Amino acid sequence: MTKTITRDQAYEAGATAILLVDLQKIWLIPGIDPSHPERGPDHYFYKQTATETIPNNERLLAAARENGVEVLHTIIQSLTEDGRDCSLDHKLTPIHIPRSAPEGLPVDSLMPVGDEIMIPKTSSGVFNSTNIDYLLKNLGIKYLIITGIMTDQCVDMAVRDAADRGYLVTCVTDACATATPERHDGALKAFGGYCWLADTDTVIERLKALGKPA
């Protein structure tokens, strides 16, 4: 008899990973990102990420680490100092963060620890410009939890591409953010059919279940 599969089925120990998308200082600390001079420290995006997105990712990271869940981070970062390896889209935008730039690293509270994997990318979609699919399959991952920024850009592409490659995807809705609440809500509605949409508290309870004795 064929097993029924649902998007919100319980995670499996040893087959679950969390992916944090682009939670970097350059995007999250006011005054660093040169591409958005109009965003002052009181802009919605900075308030939202400081009060909800970052704290929720901190909680998710702690739960993942405590319960044996694989943790991966992806950041926008060129492989070269002059960005000659960047995608055409990033060259045209332009988006270039040299690998020597400290502001390209995750914010301090979300930095990788131990041997957690951090993957640089030069496109919106992490599955398009990195070997993440190869890595996840080598790790035996079936369930991929996705958080980060921007909900309607890099998170959106990660969710859709992961679903197309056969992963059961969770998007943690209150651990993602974008420039406006309207864009955030619109993105969740647009890609919600590719994943399980859940909040931080619900996902943490699922992660805690992995650490309980059978």
Confidence of residue 63 (pLDDT cuts 50, 70, 90): very high
Q: Name the strand (E) or helix (H) holding 21.
A: strand 16-21
Task: Share the mean pLDDT of the chain.
Answer: 95
One-letter amino acid identity for 124?
S
Beta-bridge partners for 75: 120
Confidence of residue 179 (pLDDT cuts 50, 70, 90): very high
Q: What does the pLDDT read at residue 2?
A: 60
Q: Over the range 33-57, which residues count as b (16 or more CB within 10 Å of their CB) and which as e?
A: beeeeebeeeeebbebbbeebbebb
Q: What does the pLDDT read at residue 13?
A: 96
Helix axes 156-164, 181-191, angle to 10 degrees: 10
For range 164-192, the mean pLDDT: 98
For range 174-188, the mean pLDDT: 98
Confidence of residue 36 (pLDDT cuts 50, 70, 90): confident
- For residue range 127-177, what is the model confidence (pLDDT) as tens digits? 999 999 999 999 999 999 999 999 999 999 999 999 999 999 999 999 999
Confidence of residue 213 (pLDDT cuts 50, 70, 90): low
Q: What does the pLDDT read at residue 214?
A: 59
Tracing tokens 């059978």 back to the chain, one arrives at: 214
Q: What pTM was computed for the model?
A: 0.95
* Spatial CA neighbour of 74 closest among 133, 109, 126: 126
